[in-house]
Amino acid sequence: MSIGWSLVIPVKTLVAAKSRLAAATGRHRTAFAVAVAGDTVAAALACPPVARVIVVTSDPAAAGPLAALGADVVHDPDRGLNTALRTGAAEAVRVAPGDAVGALQADLPALRPAELAVALEAAGEFDQAFVPDALDIGTTFYGVRAGMPFKPRFGGESRAKHLAGGAKELCLPGIESVRRDVDTPDDLRAAIELGLGRHTAAVVAELWPPS
């Protein structure tokens, strides 16, 4: 029997989003942040095991477009990333107590639904599991089975924190798009090589028009 998932995606206030990409994105910075989150949400919603996506944000500039894609939006209490994730997880458990709950970073513009499905299938084998980022320092996904305590430890060297918390690290082949978050220009170049979602690709085309 396949496991259904509720995925929680936190989206910070866009004026603060992607600060390390500010120089590269310029006046398109807000549009870029919305586009990246939009591609993450769209890919998650297109993933068969995902029953719902819950976006946690306090920014109406993000809430509207992401709700239009099909996400459920809840208000971010603005007390840090992990508090935002726990807020979304509480809503997920209220709506669908029988589903597994996962936290997915919002900056995965190359995310592929099939690759996310592989990660979720593997995560369903453990009480709690996570996917490290491409640098093996941070975390892009953390999830728990239905009924298990949801204890995200995002921020900084979160891979080590999730390992210390007893979560199973998912070292899987073929899930590069799940691991490729975008914080720097080098990250963006790597995501472009994987293939961007349509929202981010449109903004990137504005930034760097074909010659």
Query: For the segment 9-24, what is each residue's pLDDT rounded down to a tens digit?
Result: 999 865 555 566 666 6
Q: Is 143 annotated as a binding residue?
A: no
Are 11 and 67 in contact by the 8 Å Cβ rule? The answer is no
Single-letter amino acid, residue 161: K
Kind and range of the H or E element at 93? helix 81-95
Q: Is 158 annotated as a binding residue?
A: yes
Please give the average per-residue pLDDT across 146-151, as a whole number: 97
pTM: 0.93
SS3 37: helix
Closest Cα partner for 109 from 180, 18, 175?
A: 180
Q: What superfamily does domain 5-146+156-200 belong to in CATH?
A: Spore Coat Polysaccharide Biosynthesis Protein SpsA; Chain A (3.90.550.10)
Please give the average per-residue pLDDT across 92-103, as a whole number: 97
- Distance in angstroms (rounded) separating the CA atoms of residues 39 and 49: 17
Can you give the pLDDT at residue 101? 98
Determine whether 61 is exposed, middle or buried from the number of CB atoms within 10 Å of its CB (0-12, 13-18, 19+): middle
